[in-house]
Each structure stands twice: as structure tokens, then as C-alpha cells.
Amino acid sequence: MNKTSLICGSIAFDKIMQYHGRFGDILLADQLHRVNVSFLVPTLRTEYGGCAVNIAYNLSMLGGDPLIMGTLGQDGAAYLDRMWLQGLATKAIRTIDDAYTAQCFVTADQDNNQINAFHPGAMQFSHENNLADHLPLRVAIISPDGRDGMLKHARDCVANKVPFMFDPGQQLPMFNGEELIQFIDQATYLACNDYEFEMVMDRTGLSLHDIAARLDALIVTRGEEGSDIYAGGEHYKIPVVAAEKVVDPTGCGDAYRAGLLFGIANDLDWPTSGRLASLLGSIKIAHQGAQNHSFTAQQIADRFEAAFGYRF
């Protein structure tokens, strides 16, 4: 049985800078209309990120079969090499020679407030990729990416009868209510955090019941409160798995989605898929960056049994 999961989404560099003071001590509330400030950032690090690679990284360690479909820029050779060394399939990644790889520039202060700037770069050309070039597929996920690419990949999934999970994430504000309804009607699954889902309901005018009825499964994550999966007329409450320590939430949602995709590709039931997803999120949060944790499929199976009392 084909178990390939197509992971459509962003491929990005995250530039993380730390300001040792407080933004509030520098930014004057009555002068925000003419801001001209500079922050000394003694520490700077580059993290490999992007939703597509984050998801694929976790799914591969589970023993899944992810295929990343996204776009890199002229500066992406080192990232491609890294993916290759990790055993990730890169044949569906397109390099855009006259653009830079998408990059997020994050400046955080000592209270963990953040000022971010995002350059989409090559991500804006994601619509040049074609899902039909990579059939057959068991499942796909359309995670945050270029707007045109997300719309095209959804149409392509429908045209090629590939079930897909819609994961709008931080790109959700780009779509109006009509477009979101179209995504929901095309998708097999919808995954959002609780804030994003409130926005989906507000923009579409649809209730939770209305949305769940249009999908095979609706997944809503709620941070420390766990997550909810609505599928087949049932509501499954998924508990949080206690993390060894809380270091960095970046990429936790992507790790969670990898667990869901593994469950779908291997025909696991929804409570098991959700618990596996929850476990992956708890492992990720204990590490800095989205792709610096590691585990084996055997370790995950053992940790799952320790947490839930059975093996998947």
C-alpha cells in the first residue's frame, strides 16, 4: 500500500536575534507614528525552518514517507544538502534562481516579546509546483505557503482524488470567508489552533458543527488544554503529554501534524493518531528550534506506551 504523504508548504530560514532589554523602555507610546529605533542584539542564530520541512522532519523519524513540495531560493543549496543528509526526499522541491529563500527575522526582548519581519521570497512561486508530477499519493497536507500555491494545490488534490489536510496557519488572514469555505469543502481534514479556528468561524459564518460536518475530521489544538478531534460524529478529547521541559514552542504544531499524517497513512484510529501527535509536540517543545530534536520509531513506540498504556 502506498503511504507517501505530500507535504506542501514553506521552506524557510529563521534568523533569531535576542535584545537584552525591554522594547517597552525604548518604544514611546506617543511617538509610534514616527518610530526610528535600533536594538543591539548580541546574539544571533539561524534555524532551519518552514512548515513543510518541519512536518517532514518529524514524519520521517516516525518511519513515515514524506515528500516535500515547496520552493527554495538561490541561497538554498545548504538547506537541500541538509535535507538530503537527513534522508528527506527533495525531488519535489523547486529552486527559484532569482529569489531568496523565505526568511523570518525575529527580534525578541528579555520578556520574550517579539518584533518579526517575514520575507516570502521563493515561497511566492510555490504555484509553479505540480502535484500531478508526484502521484500516487496516500495523503497530502497544504500548510502555510504562497497564497497562489495553496489555492492551486487544493484544486490539484481534488482533480487527482488525493485526500488532503488543510492547515492554513499564519497564512489564514490571506483568505476571505468564501475562499475558506471552498478550502473546507475541498479538504478531507482541517487542522487549526484554537485562535485560528475562531478566525475561520468568524470569516466563514459557519459553526463548529457546520465545519465538522463537511470534513472527515476537524482537529483543533488548544495548547496546554490538549486538542479536540471531531470525526465521524464523534468528539475525541486528546490529552497533553507532559514535556520534560518547556524550551521553545516553535514547530510544535508542525510536529503535531506529522503525527496526524502518520496516523492517516497507517490507518490508525483518531484517538491514537491524536495521542501520537500530542506526544510529538511534547518532545519538540523541549528543544530549541524546530528541527533539533531527534528520536527513533522504537523510542516513540516505547514513550507512547508509557504515556497511554498501549502500543500503536
CA dist 292 and 140 (Å) reads 24
pLDDT for the residue numbered 283: 96
115 has pLDDT over 90: no
C-alpha cell at 52: 513543510
Does 30 have pLDDT greater than 80? Answer: no
Between β-strands 102-108 and 114-119, what pairing exists: parallel, antiparallel or unpaired? Answer: antiparallel
Q: Whole-angstrom Cα distance, residue 296 to residue 86?
A: 13
Query: Count of residues for the chain?
Result: 312
**Average per-residue pLDDT in the chain?**
95
What pLDDT does residue 278 have? Answer: 98
Residue 112 has pLDDT above 80, yes or no: no
Give me 77's grid cell: 543549496
Q: Please answer whether residues 258 and 88 qualify as being in contact, where contact means their C-beta atoms are separated by less than 8 angstroms.
A: no
Q: Return d(Cα 209, Cα 220) in angstroms, integer.
A: 13
73 confidence band (pLDDT: 50, 70, 90): very high
Q: Is the pLDDT of residue 1 over 80?
A: no
For residue range 237-286, list pLDDT tens digits in order: 999 999 989 888 889 999 999 999 999 999 999 999 999 999 999 999 99
- Using alpha carbons only, give the angle 288, 91, 149 rounded to the nearest 5 degrees: 75
pLDDT attached to residue 50: 95
Q: Which three cell numbers stand for residue 281?
A: 509536540
| Whole-number pLDDT of residue 37 | 81
Q: Which residue stretches of the chain are H helix?
A: 23-26, 51-62, 77-85, 147-159, 177-186, 194-204, 208-213, 252-265, 270-284, 297-308
Residue 43 · residue 15 · CB < 8 Å: no
Beta strands in 2-97 (DSSP E): 4-8, 12-18, 43-49, 65-72, 93-95
Contact 24, 66 (CB under 8 A): no
Q: Residue for cell digits 523541549?
A: 286
So what's the pLDDT on residue 33? 78
Give, as one character, the DSSP assignment of residue 241.
P
> Angle at Cα 121 formed by Cα 120 and Cα 123, nearest 5°?
70
Q: Give the integer Cα–Cα distance in Å for 128 and 114.
A: 33
* Residue 142 confidence (pLDDT) above 90: yes
Rounded CA-CA distance 215/12 in Å is 30
Cβ(227)–Cβ(207) below 8 Å: no
- Which of 9-23, 140-154, 201-215, 226-240 has the least mean pLDDT? 9-23
The model's pTM:
0.93
Q: State mean pLDDT over 203-222.
A: 98
pLDDT in tens, 45-71: 999 999 999 999 999 999 999 999 999
- Spatial contact of 253 and 225, defined as CB atoms under 8 Å apart: no
Tell me how far CA of residue 224 lies from CA of 77, 195, 241, 275, 291, in angstroms.
37, 14, 9, 14, 21
In the numeric block, the cell 488544554 is attached to: 225
Question: Percentage of the chain surpassing pLDDT 70?
Answer: 100
SS percent in the chain: helix, strand, coil, step 5: 45, 25, 35
Q: Does domain 4-11+51-100+122-308 have CATH number 3.40.1190.20?
A: yes
